[in-house]
Amino acid sequence: MNNTPVILRPLILAGVLAMCGLASAPANAQTPSVWQGIGFIAVDGGAQVTSSGYTSNLTFPLHGETATGTATSDAVSGAVFTARGGIRIWKNLALGAGVTVFSSTPDVAVEASLPHPFFFNRPREVSGTASGLTRRETMAAVEVSWLVPLSRRMDMSLFAGPAFFNVRQDMVTTVQFTETYPYDTATFAGVESEEVSRSVTGFTVGADVSYLFSKNFGLGGQFRFSRASTTLTPSGGQSTAVDLGGAQVGGGIRIRF
Amino acid sequence: MRLGSRAVCWLLMLTIVGLAAPGRLSAQGTAGRRTVAAVADRDVRDWDSQITRMERSDELRVRRTDEDGLVPGRTHERFDQYYDGIRVVGGELVRQLEKGQTLSVFGTVYAGISVDSEPAMRAEDAADIVAELTGVTLPAARVPDLVVLPRDDGGYALTYRARVMTASDLIIYYIDAQTGDVVLQYSDLETTVGTGKGVLDDTKKVSTTLKNGTYIASDKLRPPNINTYDMKGSLTRTNQYLNGQILLGDSDFASDSDDDWTDQAAVDAHAYAGWTYDYYYKRFNRQGLNNRNLAMTSLVHPVKREEWASQPSSVLNLYYLNAFYAGDGVMVYGEGLPPNVTAGGMKWNYFSGALDVVAHELTHGVTDYTSGLIYRNESGALNEAFSDIMGASAEFYYQPLGNGYLKADYLLGEDLTSPLSGFRSMANPQAFGDPDHYSKRYLGSSDNGGVHTNSGIANQAFYLAVEGGTNRTSGLAVTGVGSANRDKIEKVFYRAFTQMLPANATFAIARAATIQAARDLYGTGSDVDRAVTQAWTAVGVN
Ligand SMILES: [Zn+2]
């Protein structure tokens, strides 16, 4: 969570309070068993904390041979914004949609084996860290929610549905380096990257706890897990398997109508 | 068809052609141009005050200041010259300082600049002109710079400078800021690494340059210029160049359209020249033939192979069945003979196809710039021996040990001949009729007093010092340092032959100098001292 922007921390705290602290309050005798409203809207900020890392294999032509290498990101975590809404269609069941936007710029460990300019089969090894390589995931989900009133002011909903992901990932394509005569060693200097975009279908499930201050407004928190798998292939490069989504936790405002 | 064996006897005879130093300077005009090389106290003081004055009048601006990486406490300031707030191309001074005191000033400044500093067009207009010329639209970050260009024909022009990568070249344009005309354009150096097949069909890398859409055999990756020219079978042109009567231009470079080289003689001449430079650099920390990165120039195809039968024997011996160092860093590689022709019972390939031959010839350049061993009698034999020693050592540096083509051994030129033979042996000079002992030295006058014959004596000494063994003539045994330590004997011979021998050295002096070098490097009584001493004794040099 150390990638979580400072501004999001109060929102996450609000969500956690709503889900844990307030949820443990004893259920009120007046708790209705059936949700009476028409629909809901939830807007949250938070963090995606358990996205998988990835390792991409690099190959690029250099000095009459092929340079090889890897670019590895151990985990991709970062800020996520979520908006979801729904309309009650039957009893406590609602049909709605959710959108999450996730962005992360983790450090990427790069290792490469660079051909020698004068001789075949005499590679120089370089390694370093590349920064500024961003992944942006946008997920749009159709969500079926079951809303459970917990008290007059609190409710919890469980939701799930198919999710449509679009990912835009900066993929390392070439390793930059410096070398001087006699070129028996080289020094890592950075990378060149290419933004690769891909759309893929996955799923999302989650839970939301809301606490209403008034009839229409409140605060809430949610936990969500989403997942989709795909491969990303920069032009002329190798395919890299990546998992999208992950565990998200966040908090924000709740609207009921 | 067979040639007389005499042709073979002349193999690898060094021919030093006295070259009138060719005028290789560009035609750049010098009007108003002042070259600064101030190191004397008074000059430095003068330039110090000049710099102060020019800084005050905004004619000089500091571009950067760098710490000296090698001499602590020193800094180097780089100034650009400006005219009316516009940078003057090539106007630059570099000042070396220590504790605020100037030690040296080097550079070039232009005096008497007179040019209208108000451009009639914007940088964007110049970019449009470049786009029209090249089809390349420059991004905003690369919009052309306004600069004052000293013209080659004298005078100055206010220009926009643009650097454009086209599909086939990297071009620098100077566009006249008043008229939009192209004042100057040239290809910026683009270094490439090509591949090609050598004379023995082995694939290797070659350092080339992309120029005007063609890859040329010009190595810009190594410190010196290493250029290989294709003389296209013109002996007339070859001789004119060697005599300083013509210069070689871009169209004379060995070239290839796709950097996948097919001229095997050019591939090997070019690659092996670079390898030899690297060997000297890595083994001895030497920077080229003169230790100051003298340009290395190789000429291939000085004659046409198919015309061999109509050539006089002198041409056959020199330009078909020989390679020679022509002075000033220039090597000429013989063309060999057509595959169906033999000389001395052997077929002969392109002479650039043997690493030991290339390193041998280049070592003549090293000798030229060091001991200058006189090319006759004993000093001449030592000159030849040193070339053989370094030639074989380069093979051992790069090639796997063994017998066969492209293998490291103590034969000379074996990669050129079929069947595999070569024309000298350091392990057994007598196998080619050369002496392996001082008592058997040739005392006649041919071949400059047997320089290619008596070299066998020193070659055998080197061989025994490395590998050990018994000299066939004296029967004396030598304990060598072993092949794994061969670099020690190479360093001993390199040090003695480049730094200690006089031009008219004798074998006895070579013995004393190499023993002294061994003691200086590895200690008196060391294995190396003993091996070198025993080796010379075994070959009868005391
Ligand atoms: Zn020679």
Q: Is the ipTM of this complex over 0.90?
A: no
Q: Rounded distance, CA B369 to CA B293, Å?
A: 12
* Beta-carbon neighbours within 5 Å of ion ligand 1: B 12, 14, 387
Residue of B482, B516, B470 lying closest to B497 (CA atoms): B516
Is the bond preceding residue B400 a cis peptide, omega within 30 degrees? no
pLDDT at A9: 52
Domain boundary assignment for chain B: 15-111+374-542, 123-177, 190-369
Q: How far apart are the first and last CA of chain A?
A: 34
Separation of alpha carbons B110 and B470, rounded Å: 68
Which residues of B carry out catalysis? 361, 452
Q: Which residues of B178-196 are buried (b: 16+ CB within 10 A; e: fewer)?
A: eeeeebbeebeeeebbbbb
What's chain B's average pLDDT? 89
- Give CA–CA dist B233/B265, Å, rounded: 13
Distance from CA of B203 to the nearest CA of A (A): 9
pLDDT in tens, chain A (257 residues): 344 444 445 544 544 444 444 444 444 445 667 777 899 999 999 998 766 788 999 998 899 899 999 999 987 788 999 999 999 999 899 999 999 999 999 999 999 999 999 999 999 999 999 988 999 999 999 999 999 888 888 999 999 999 999 999 999 988 988 888 999 999 988 888 888 999 999 999 999 999 999 989 999 999 999 999 999 998 878 899 999 999 999 999 999 98
Indicate whether this model's pTM tops 0.80.
Answer: no
Q: Tell me which chain B residue has its CA closest to the CA of residue A118.
A: B205
Average pLDDT over every residue of B137-145: 81
Q: Kind and range of the H or E element at A124?
A: strand A124-130
Q: How confident is the model at residue B17 (pLDDT cuts 50, 70, 90)?
A: very low
With an 8 Å Cβ cutoff, are A117 and B221 in contact?
yes
- B-facing residues of A in 172-191 (CB < 8 A) are 181-183
What is the tens place of the pLDDT at every residue in B438-464?
999 999 999 999 999 999 999 999 999
Please determine, for residue B189, whether its predicted confidence score (pLDDT) is greater than 60.
no
pLDDT in tens, B20-52: 222 222 223 345 778 888 888 888 999 999 999
pLDDT score, position B188: 61
Closest residue in B to A62 (Cα–Cα) = B193
Q: CB contact, 8 Å: B223 with chain A? A: yes
Strand partners, A76: A51
Indicate the class that CATH gives domain B190-369.
Answer: alpha beta
Answer whether A119 sits within 8 Å of B207, measured CB to CB.
no
Q: Is A96 left (phi over 0), alpha (psi -120 to 50) or beta?
A: beta
Domains of chain A: residue spans and CATH = 6-256 (2.40.160.20)
pLDDT of residue B18: 27
Concatenating the DSSP letter of every residue in B36-56 gives EEE-SHHHHHHHHHHHHHHHH
Average pLDDT over residues B367-393: 95
* pLDDT value at residue B166: 57
Element (H, E) at A246: strand A240-256
Chain A contact set for B194 (CB, 8 A): 64
CB B407 within 8 A of CB B399: yes
Q: Is the pLDDT of residue B12 over 80?
A: no
Distance CA A47, CA A49 (A): 6
Question: If DSSP codes are grouped into helix, strand and coil, which group holds residue A1?
Answer: coil
What is the nearest CA distance from B281 to chain A, expressed in angstroms?
A: 9
* Structural tokens at position B387: 């070339």
**B150 contact A CB<8A:** no
Query: What is the per-residue pLDDT for B187?
Result: 60
Strand-pair category, B477-478 with B424-425: unpaired
B190-369 has the same fold as B15-111+374-542: no
Q: What is the mean pLDDT of residues B494-502?
A: 95
Top pLDDT among B401 and B166 is at B401
Chain A CB contacts of B203 under 8 Å are 120
Is B205 in contact with A63 (Cβ distance < 8 A)? yes
pLDDT(B139) > 60: yes
> Which of these ranges, A29-38, B219-228, B256-265, has the smallest mean pLDDT?
A29-38
What is d(CA B253, CA B261) in angstroms, rounded to the nearest whole number? 13
Whole-number Å distance between alpha carbons of B291 and A34: 94
Q: Which of the 8 DSSP states describes residue B267? A: H
Could you tell me if B400 lies within 8 Å of chain A, comparing CB atoms?
A: no
The answer to whether the CB atoms of B204 and A120 lie below 8 A apart is yes
For residue B201, what are the CA distances in angstroms to A214, B219, B261, B346, B392? 87, 21, 11, 19, 21
Encode pLDDT of B400-428 as tens digits: 999 999 999 999 999 999 998 899 999 99
Topology of domain B15-111+374-542 in CATH is Neutral Protease; domain 2 (1.10.390)
Does the distance separating the beta carbons of A118 and B221 come in below 8 Å? Answer: yes
Q: What residues have CB less than 8 Å from B486, skipping those under 6 apart? A: B393, B396, B466
Q: In what order do the strands lie in the sheet with B203-211?
A: B255-256, B214-216, B203-211, B191-197, B260-261
Q: Residues near A20 by Cβ (< 8 Å), separated by ≥ 6?
A: none
Q: What is the dihedral of CA B216, B217, B222, B224, to 10 degrees?
A: -100
| Average pLDDT for B77-95 | 92
- Closest to B296 (Cα-Cα) out of B222, B367, B232, B394: B222
The pair of structure tokens assigned to B476 is 């004396």
Contacts 24+ apart (CB under 8 A), B363-368: B363/B387, B363/B390, B363/B391, B364/B14, B364/B16, B364/B325, B365/B289, B365/B290, B365/B294, B365/B296, B365/B325, B365/B327, B365/B329, B366/B280, B366/B286, B366/B289, B366/B390, B366/B498, B367/B497, B367/B498, B368/B16, B368/B289, B368/B325, B368/B327
